[in-house]
Structure 1
Amino acid sequence: MTPTHLPGRVAIPSLPSVLGAFNSAPSADARKLLLDCLRSLRWADRIAAHRPYPDVDSLLAASDEAAYDLSPGDLAEALVAETLPTLPDGTYSAAHTAMSAAHAAYEAKFGHAFVICLEGLPAEEALDHVLEGIRSRLANDPEEERVVAAEELRRLAKERLGDLLRGAGNCAINPHGAAPGN
């Protein structure tokens, strides 16, 4: 079946993309959005300052590069804002107790929250992965753990930024839920 040409049809312009909205958002709004992904002012400022990004992959690559360049002070700033991963609904109370105890030991040794990226991991495996991660990383010396935590923060920032760009629709920049410009 051949398509019928309908005279007078007008193409309907598409709504702005999430990346387009991010690229054109006021600097303060872009920075706030970025700080929801990683609480490092230097990281957020650097990514916001290099807009516009031609595509999501370029933005995610910039996120990685900026995260690799964080100083120990920048890492400490970002780690202060992190919390333990949320356990899946229905996780039994003993698991919460085990998680709290392991985290307390980790925090006592390293002075910051335990961070781990669970990207791509099934929810039912999250608890075991987090507990194993805490136990194994407690054996690290502080410098080794700083490197591991920095890598986990980089992965978390990239995952959060990607999720935000993929899942927020046209509401990524506007906190009121309307598409930018509406």
Structure 2
Amino acid sequence: MGQSHANPGIPGPYEALADGLRRLNHAPAAAAEAALLACCASRRWALRLTAHRPYPDLDALLAAADEASYDLSPGDLAEALADERSPGLHPSAPQSAHTALRAAHAAYESRFKYAFVICLEGLRPTEHLNQMLAGIRVRMTNEREEESVIAAEELRRLARARLAHLVTNHPETDSAVATR
């Protein structure tokens, strides 16, 4: 791959993406599956994405992830949601915000029996608390079936964000996808 024009010797975004995709595409199946399970904890989802490698680009990977997400059975969704943790706040947030969010998460988890999931991708950290509290407040009024559909959509969005992060931002921290 070529060098970044802005910083000679330092890989640019294209190089990091190409390297991340190459490593995912060429990793042993077990390593790829482990990395993908960190993005969405449905074993069927991870196996499907692993089996359909290689991916020519990020768009193809994300499209395959979307398709696999839409095909999750209720059991697959339950498996994935069981591994999720409700999003928290930055440790520097006021204690009162942490307390309010913990109470809201507890109420949601008591009602629906799984962690509240919401994709906050693209939002500033200062917006997270309001988005999470508003989301919980609105979604607490849903019937179980309706909330399951919404949770599945949020999980799909989270998986997309995690996949993009896996192959673009921090390939050096992705020790599960080893270079062959």
Q: TM-score range, shorter-chain basis? A: 0.7 to 0.9
The residue aligned with 2:30 is: 28
Matched, 1:174 2:175: yes
Given that residues 165 and 172 in structure 1 are in contact (C-alpha distance below 8 angstroms), is that contact kept between their aligned partners in structure 2?
no
Superposition deviation, residue 113 in structure 1: 0.4
Q: Deviations over 1:46-69 (max 9, x none)?
A: 000000111111001101110010
Superposition deviation, residue 172 in structure 1: 6.0
Q: Aligned partners of 1:119, 1:59: CA distance in 2, in Å?
A: 18
Given that residues 37 and 156 in structure 1 are in contact (C-alpha distance below 8 angstroms), is that contact kept between their aligned partners in structure 2?
yes
Q: Taking every aligned residue pair, what percent have the same amino acid on both sides? A: 55
Q: Which runs of at least 4 in structure 1 moved beyond 4 Å after TM superposition? A: none
**Greater Rg, structure 1 or structure 2?**
1
Q: Deviations over 1:2-60 (max 9, x none)?
A: xxxxxxxxxxxx89711011101000000000011010000000000000111111001
The residue aligned with 2:134 is: 132
Aligned match of 2:53 in 37, 51, 54? 51
Given that residues 88 and 101 in structure 2 are in contact (C-alpha distance below 8 angstroms), is that contact kept between their aligned partners in structure 1?
no
Higher deviation after alignment, 143-152 or 52-61: 52-61
Superposition deviation, residue 86 in structure 1: 2.7
Q: Aligned partners of 2:94, 2:106: CA distance in 1, in Å?
A: 19
- TM-score with structure 1 setting the length: 0.85
Matched, 1:94 2:93: no
Superposition deviation, residue 175 in structure 1: 4.6
Superposition deviation, residue 85 in structure 1: 1.2
Aligned match of 1:153 in 145, 155, 176? 155
Superposition deviation, residue 180 in structure 1: 2.2
Q: Which amino acid aligns with 2:103?
A: A
Alignment gaps of 5+ in structure 1? 1-13
Alpha-carbon distance change, 173 to 88 in structure 1, aligned in 2, over 3 angstroms: closer
Given that residues 174 and 180 in structure 1 are in contact (C-alpha distance below 8 angstroms), is that contact kept between their aligned partners in structure 2?
no
- TM-score with structure 2 setting the length: 0.86
Instruction: List aligned pairs for 1:71-90, cutoff 5 A.
Output: 71-90=73-92
Root-mean-square deviation (CA, aligned residues, Å) is 1.8
Matched, 1:120 2:122: yes
The residue aligned with 1:9 is: none
Q: Aligned partners of 2:26, 2:156: CA distance in 1, in Å?
A: 24
Given that residues 30 and 173 in structure 1 are in contact (C-alpha distance below 8 angstroms), is that contact kept between their aligned partners in structure 2?
no
The residue aligned with 1:109 is: 111
Q: Which amino acid aligns with 1:96?
A: H
Matched, 1:38 2:40: yes
The residue aligned with 2:9 is: none
User: SS at 2:111's partner residue?
Assistant: helix
Q: Aligned partners of 1:62, 1:106: CA distance in 2, in Å?
A: 30
Q: Aligned partners of 1:166, 1:174: CA distance in 2, in Å?
A: 14
Between the two proteins, the alignment pairs up a number of residues equal to: 165
Higher helix share: 2
